[in-house]
Amino acid sequence: MSDLDKKVQQATELLPGAGYPKQKSKYKSVAIKAGLVALAFFISAATFSARGAFRESQQVNTNVCSQVAELIPEKNGVVWKLSKVYFGTPRFKKRAVEWLGGAIRVPTETHDKMQPVGIDPRWETFGVLQDYLLQAFPKVHTALELTKVNTYGLLYEWKGSDASLKPLLLAAHQDVIPVENATLGQWQHEPFSGHFDGEYIWGRGSSDDKHGLIGIMSAVESLLELKFKPTRSVVLAFGIDEEIGGLNGARSLATVMLEKFGPKSFAMLIDEGVGYGPQYGQIFALPGIAEKGTLHIRIDLASPGGHSSVPPPHTSIGMLAKLLVEIEENPFEAHLTRGSPTYKTAQCLAEHGPEMLPALRKNIRLSQYSDEALREAEILLLQNPMFKTLVGTTQSINLIQGGIKTNALPEQAWAVVNHRISTESSLNETTSRQTDLLRPLASGFNLSYTAFGASLSEPDVPAYGSLNLSDAWGTGTEPAPVSPTDENAAPYDLLSGTIKAAYNSHRGIKGDNNVVVSPGIMPGNTDTRHYWKLTDHIFRYRHVRLGGCLPNNPHTVNEGILISMLVMEADNFVEIIRFFTALVLNADESELI
Ligand SMILES: *[C@@H]1O[C@H](CO)[C@@H](O)[C@H](O)[C@H]1NC(C)=O
Ligand SMILES: *[C@@H]1O[C@H](CO)[C@@H](O)[C@H](O)[C@H]1NC(C)=O
Ligand SMILES: *[C@@H]1O[C@H](CO)[C@@H](O)[C@H](O)[C@H]1NC(C)=O
Ligand SMILES: *[C@@H]1O[C@H](CO)[C@@H](O)[C@H](O)[C@H]1NC(C)=O
Ligand SMILES: [Zn+2]
């Protein structure tokens, strides 16, 4: 056992529940993001699919969701061919399993309300991960220049021979969401064991996002072993706190990159996101070209206290409750909008998914020109709750507090409502809408009303109490700018062709539509929210196989997705390494990006 192993072990022993007896279980420990990814992906087979007369009925509309051919490195063809052989060996697979397992064994949990790096000792575990990376990827650390940002953020630069080419930026996050003690019994293998059962690599982070982090590092290490020398620079940016907003990691990295490379200085950026899997009888890959916005609205209500023996008709809690009911009774409307990312996804599924219900396909196709068809398509698509949440702004009341004593009137009560803002909307539209919604109740209860810094009631008129809406943590984020995917969007095409090449190469097959690439949307946030200034071409994509790859032949798709968030199929992990390898080689030789 090396020093490093010891450190890793020590770190592991600090974990909640280290040494718990292993228990059989139902793979139930659920990552929040698991749900999100499931949601992004399974727009739904069940609701609309039907074995339609796809081929006979209409031919594919070639202008919509047109597909590029698989993109096989040519100038770098020798390295690509060598890598193909290398990655296919059992020895490489074993190595890949060890690489990922080792990273999982360092429990890099991030928690809400962490103090800054240097003050909160919980960050120190990231030092252990740094040591691990240093030991596991020696060539990367020799050939690339490493800048540590805010101590634990990692920025690697692999300098290409031609400085005039915009670098490729690959991002991942080092942190994982905490394992709740209550779920420990449900883990079949300990959450930070990195256990390999012959098929799956187990543990928190195996698929969010250490498969990304280690997939990138493994690809670069392998390329160095194969003596590849880049023409175009490659930059790797690994944040430390994506799961809590990226303020300590990605935000600091963004500042450093902006200074070092300048605005819009990268050819394209790939960060975590959705993968590929079956939809309507076809394998689709869905790189996220956009990301919904986020806003936590805090609602503060104050009214006079006093003894509860002489109560007013409404206490702060009662009034707050009424406001919350009003919010829930008035969800945001969701509309399918031409040209939006979700519309593009629907179009692509309609063009390329043979099992889509013919009526839906027809409406989606006609909707390009007909408003009536657009509304019909919308009605059908929004019947699916998951699709609906992707399209519209969502709201969810997640925190509430008020009152201190059973016989005292509560002077204060507050709640926080989480919003995921539609790519077709904005922070302003969201705050305005909620402000207007609550206005009649505020005046009905005779409350002075302040919303997002603006006083909305007459200043000198006496009020019974006050209502104050605010951005709960000042972290409201606009929906991301949409990355271009039209005919001339070379980076999107390069990504699409690379996805196909990696998919085919891993299976030893040929053909351009074994996997169809469609614009997708990321319902949750990623570190890319801090990287908008670096490039217009941001894609949230991991080459992960979703669905149909699960242990014990589970019954439902959802169950499957949840499982896949806790384990990583070793075979698929090798495929991820192929993907990053192909991406580096293709970007390297491209004259279009
Ligand atoms: C989880 O359990 C560990 C060890 O039993 C304990 O130290 C830790 O405080 C617990 N965490 C929570 C959130 O309860
Ligand atoms: C915010 O939205 C409101 C209503 O939607 C609009 O009247 C106002 O002009 C917007 N303000 C800004 C700064 O965009
Ligand atoms: C609102 O409350 C204040 C303070 O209790 C009171 O003076 C005022 O008359 C009330 N106004 C209305 C319209 O009820
Ligand atoms: C409303 O809440 C915000 C955030 O807590 C606070 O900064 C502001 O002072 C409050 N405004 C009023 C009028 O209470
Ligand atoms: Zn993640």
How many A from CA of 465 to the centre of ligand 3?
9
**Annotated catalytic, 588?**
no
CB 260 within 8 A of CB 169: no
Range with lowest mean pLDDT among 1-5, 537-541, 560-564, 565-569: 1-5
Residue type, 352: H
CATH number for the region 293-471 comes to 3.30.70.360
How many A from CA of 298 to the centre of ligand 4?
10
Ligand 2 atom, smallest distance to 428 CA:
1
Local structure of 426: helix, strand or coil: coil
Residue with CA nearest ligand 3 atom 5? 464
**Category of 232 on φ-ψ map: left (φ > 0), alpha (ψ -120 to 50) or beta:** beta
Q: Which of 209, 221, 242, 376 is catalytic?
A: 242
547 pLDDT band (50/70/90 cuts)?
Answer: low
* Closest CA relative to residue 194, chosen from 127, 125, 100, 110: 100
Tokens of 382: 């929004």
Separation CA 122–CA 115 (nearest Å): 9
Enumerate the domain spans of the chain: 3-291+480-589, 293-471
**Annotated catalytic, 225?**
no
62 pLDDT band (50/70/90 cuts)?
Answer: low
Q: How many helices (H) and strands (E) does the chain have?
A: 18, 18
Ligand 3 atom, smallest distance to 446 CA:
1
Tokens of 507: 């299976």
Which residue is associated with the tokens 């003050």? 119
Q: How buried is residue 25: exposed, middle or buried, by Cβ count under 10 Å (0-12/13-18/19+)?
A: middle
How many A from CA of 122 to the centre of ligand 1?
14
529-557: b (≥16 Cβ within 10 Å) or e = bbbbebbbbbbbbbbbbbbebbeeeeeeb
**Nearest ligand to residue 461 Cα:** 3
- Residues lining ligand 3, CB < 6 A? 446, 462-464
- Kindly report the pTM of this predicted structure: 0.86
Residue with CA nearest ligand 1 atom 8? 16
CA dihedral 560, 564, 570, 576 (to 10 degrees): 110
CB 500 within 8 A of CB 514: yes
**Using one digit for the tens of pLDDT, what is the confidence trace for 297-336?**
999 999 999 888 889 999 999 999 999 999 999 999 999 9
Pocket lining: 454 vs ligand 2, CB cutoff 6 Å: no
**Using one digit for the tens of pLDDT, what is the confidence trace for 425-482?**
999 999 999 999 999 999 999 999 999 999 999 888 889 999 999 999 898 999 999 9
CATH number for the region 3-291+480-589 comes to 3.40.630.10
Pocket lining: 429 vs ligand 2, CB cutoff 6 Å: yes
